[in-house]
Structures are given as structure tokens and as C-alpha cells.
A and B are shown apart, each in its own frame.
Chain A
């Protein structure tokens, strides 16, 4: 008969076996998550378990904000109110003109049979916290699929674009900031309409890649979204040019941008709905029979 240790000494599989099992499980999850995005269901389930802890962890911050709000004096509030009122009055003039211009623009576009620009629906959200992952730049907002948030929607604050919703939970969503390494946004120089693509760079900056060294771009130029990706609506301010290095040895200029919007100021953001209008389907043409020729051989 095979020797069996008494149950008192039985400690289950050896530590190395357990380590191998759990490490391979973790690596499997990482590969599934990074390469194939199959792990979203697992994430959703774990997210439900982690949600109460996250809310509890948020409590001290909420308390801090509450206390600060409570002790902000009436004078400070009155001052802020006055400042806001002045700003609104100043903005009102622009807004009135904007409405007229929008009407005119739509009218012109209709005349030209171009697509009208429709205002997008938006959802108001608050930033809960910045994700504590040193390898990426994300913030968590307090609206999720319950509020109709979908992955891919652009997120803006009062001065410009801050990023894009990349993952949606039931009650929260993750927004990847523009300065994340894996995030790209198509832009347009406001001054001359030059199109380019910006990528996230180190230190919260953006990197304008693949611009020829002689491109017409200067320090201080404002870049807005070009809207050709169908995700970001056109014309939202994104960044200003901070530094240009033109080196004759390289074909492309090295251009660094500073994002206009920052997540370090306010916690309130707007999630725009991404009503990406696909171009209308082409009317079906009667299929013309191709003259039969030799079939091209498949390229091996």
C-alpha cells in the first residue's frame, strides 16, 4: 500500500507547484487582456466585487471636499459668483454670435449638400480618481453603462479634450488621457488647417509625429480636433505647440505639445456621445459583368 502522510501533516500541493499554477494563470490573463481583449468579462465580474471597496476608499476624499465646501466663506462664494457672472456675460456675446454663425454654417452646408454638423448629446460626469497604475495614464469617472456610456466616447472639460472612454463598468468608466502612451488623436492646426496626429508622450505632454521638417507650424499654434476619425467632433481645442526641434538629419520635425485641458484642475467633465455618422451606403449599381480574363494568380 502506498504510504500516505497523516492528515495532520498534509499541506496540499508544494509551494513551487502552487506558484507555477498561479503565475501561469496570471500570465494567461495578461496575454488575454493585452493581446486579445478576451478578459473583459472577468474584469466586469471582479469590478463588481471591487466596487464597494473603491467607494469606501473614496470616502475620505469626499469628506475632504465636503469639509472644504462647508468652510468656504460667503465672501469667497460671492466673489466666485461675481467672477462667473462676468465671465458668462462676456461669453454671452460670443454665444449669441455663435448661434447665428451655426445657423448660417448649416444653411451653407445645406446649400452645398454637405453633411450638417449636429450638436452631440453629452453626459455630465465627475472624476473619481486617477488610476494608480504607473504605466498608463487613466482617470476613473462616476458614470458607467447604466448612464449610457460606451467605450470610445470622447471626454472634454471646459477648455478642451482630455481623453477617451476606454473601458466601461456598470457604474464607472475608465478614461484614457491623451498623454497616455497608447493614445492617438487626429488634429488640425487652427491657423492653416494642417492635419497631423498626436500621440501621448512623457510628462503629460503630446508628441506630434510624422510632420515634415519644413511643415508650416510655429510655437504657440493652437491645435484642434480634425474630426476625420469619426470619434472626436471637429473643432475642439486640444493642445498648443510648446517646442519644435528641426534637425536636418531627420525627415521629421520633433514637435512637443502641451494639452489645453488638464485633469488636475476641476473634477467635472462631459462625456460626448459618439454619433459617428457612417457615410451613406452607395446606391447599388447594376453589377456589370466583367470581361472574363485569366484569373490572376494569388500572390503567394
Chain B
């Protein structure tokens, strides 16, 4: 019954170039000049978590750490702060990657919300220990937005893998 509500497809292998492209787009989104708006969704983290869940052998903690370092420099924050958060996020995503895909998308989103919130909380603790200011509760709003975006995002990110290699006239998608 579960399988009917949430049909499984045999996907094409993910292209490395597509993974890199989406991660780069996430970075660009994060580096957009948001100004002082609190609660801007961390799209890099979401895309990273997606690939850690779907391609755990190709995207892991090392890539997460590097992305975090780039964001640290781009945002002028404490060096290593995002690297720390993203490493933990990648590890958590790896830890749940076998289980999470059996759930329908909105339940996956709940899982993701928990991952993102715990990452943000750890980063907050580290940053306040280093003498930062508490940024207000809107800081956590970004995680909720990301979780809400998850079903759409995972559909979009899986699209290229759903394309058939040879065009089949009778295929549905």
C-alpha cells in the first residue's frame, strides 16, 4: 500500500556535474545580498542534505566542510562556523539516509526540519561561546522554510535522473 502511495522509480545515475551545479546554485543563493533579513532559508544546507541522503557515496562530510568554509569567508563570519555546522548536517543526513527515503515527502520534510534545527542550534551554541550576539528567534525560521521547500526541491533535483536515456514514446514522464 505504501509503495502505491509513494511509487518507487528506477532512477538514472546522478551526474557529478549536476550535483556540482546545484550546490553552486545553492551557494549563490546564500551569497545573495540579503542584508539584515533574518530567517533567510539556507538553501545550500538543504541541497547538501539532499545529496547526502540520495548520493551518500559521492557527497559527504568533506564536501560539506569545504562548502561551509566558502560560506564563512563569503559571509564574513567566524572561520569554521558554517564548516562545523555543515559537517554535522552531512553526518546526520548520512545517518538517516537509508530510512528517510521510505517516507512520503512531507514526512521527509519533518526529518529534514529536525536535522536543520539541530545544526542551527549547535552553530548558535558555538557562536555564542565565541562571544556572538543572540540573533533572535527569527534565526530559526529559515529551517522551517527549508523544510517546507523540501518536497518541491527533491522533486526538482531528481528530475534529471527521471529522464529516460532513450526517448520512449509510451513512457508517462
A residues touching B (Cβ–Cβ < 8 Å)?
A: 11, 15-16, 18-19, 22-23, 25-30, 32-34, 39, 42-43, 46-47, 49-50, 53-54, 56-58, 60-61, 128-138, 140, 167, 174, 181-182, 202, 264
Which of B33, B70, B77, B91 touches A136 (beta carbons < 8 Å)?
Answer: B77
Verify A136–B132 contact, CB threshold 8 A: yes
- A23-B135 in contact (CB<8A): no
Contact partners of B72 in chain A: CB under 8 A? 46
How many Å lie between the Cα of A53 and that of B30 in the bound state? 10
Are A26 and B68 neighbours in the complex by a CB distance under 8 Å? yes
**Which residue, B27, B73, B77, has most C-beta atoms of chain A within 10 A?**
B73
A15: chain B residues at CB < 8 Å are 60-61, 91, 94-95
Given A19-B91, A135-B127: A25 and B28 within 8 A (CB)? no
The A interface, classified by DSSP as helix, strand, loop or mixed, is helix
Cβ of B138 to closest chain A Cβ, rounded Å: 9
- In the complex, A61 Cα to B61 Cα: how many Å? 32
- Report yes or no: B80 in contact with A28, Cβ–Cβ below 8 A: yes
Q: With A46-B70, A136-B132 as given contacts, are A30 and B81 in contact (CB-CB < 8 Å)?
A: yes
How many residue pairs between the two chains, A and B, have CB atoms under 8 Å in the bound complex?
A: 135
Segment touching A, from B12-20, B82-90, B105-113, B149-157? B82-90
- Complex contacts, B40 vs chain A, CB 8 Å: 132
Q: Inside 8 A of A33's CB, which chain B residues have their CB?
A: 78-80
One digit per residue, 1 when the CB lies within 8 angstroms of any chain A CB and 0 when it does not, for chain B 122-137 equals 0000110011110110
Look across to chain B and name the residue whose beta carbon is closest to the beta carbon of A42: B79
Contact between A43 and B88, CB atoms less than 8 A apart: no
Min Cβ gap A247→B in Å is 24
26 A–B contact pairs at CB < 8 A? A15-B60, A18-B61, A18-B91, A25-B65, A26-B68, A26-B81, A26-B84, A27-B84, A29-B80, A30-B80, A30-B126, A33-B80, A49-B70, A53-B24, A53-B74, A54-B31, A56-B28, A57-B28, A57-B33, A129-B32, A134-B38, A136-B133, A174-B76, A181-B133, A182-B131, A202-B133
Given A18-B61, A57-B32, A132-B30, verify A34-B74 contact (CB < 8 Å): no
Question: If A11-B57, A19-B87, A182-B131 touch, does A133 touch B77 (CB 8 Å cutoff)?
Answer: yes
The distance in angstroms between the C-alpha atoms of A18 and B127, with both chains bound, is 22
Query: Complex: how many Å from CA A34 to CA B133?
Result: 14
A131 to B75, CA, bound (A): 5
Taking residues whose C-beta sits less than 8 angstroms from the other chain, chain B's interface range is 35 or more
CB distance from A267 to the nearest CB of B (A): 10
Given contacts A26-B80, A34-B78, A202-B133, contact A47 B62 (CB under 8 A): no
B7 lies within 8 A of chain A by Cβ: no
Q: What are the residues of chain B within 8 A of A58 when measuring CB–CB?
A: 33
Q: How far is B70's CA from A56's CA once the two chains are assembled, in angstroms?
A: 14
Q: Which B residues lie within 8 Å of A42 (CB)?
A: 79
Candidates B24, B32, B73; contact of A43 at CB < 8 Å: B73
Chain B nearest CB, measured from A251 CB (Å): 25
- B139: chain A residues within 8 A (beta carbon): 134
Contacts A15-B61, A132-B75; is A26 near B34 (CB within 8 Å)? no
Closest 4 pairs between A and B when the two form their complex, measured CB to CB:
A129-B33, A29-B80, A134-B135, A135-B132
Q: Which of B21-48 contact A (CB under 8 A)?
A: 24, 27-28, 30-36, 38, 40
Shortest distance between the CB of A59 and any CB in chain B (Å): 9
CA distance A49 to B78 in the complex (A): 17
Q: Which among A16, A30, A264 is the interface contact of B130 at CB below 8 angstroms?
A: A30
Q: Given the complex of chains A and B, what is the CA–CA distance between A264 and B36 in angstroms? A: 10
Least CB distance from A173 to B in Å reads 10
Known: A28-B80, A167-B76. 10 other contacts (CB 8 A): A22-B65, A30-B84, A46-B72, A129-B33, A135-B127, A135-B135, A136-B76, A137-B36, A181-B131, A182-B131
Please measure, in the bound complex, the distance between the C-alpha atom of A15 and the C-alpha atom of B95, giving whole angstroms. Answer: 9
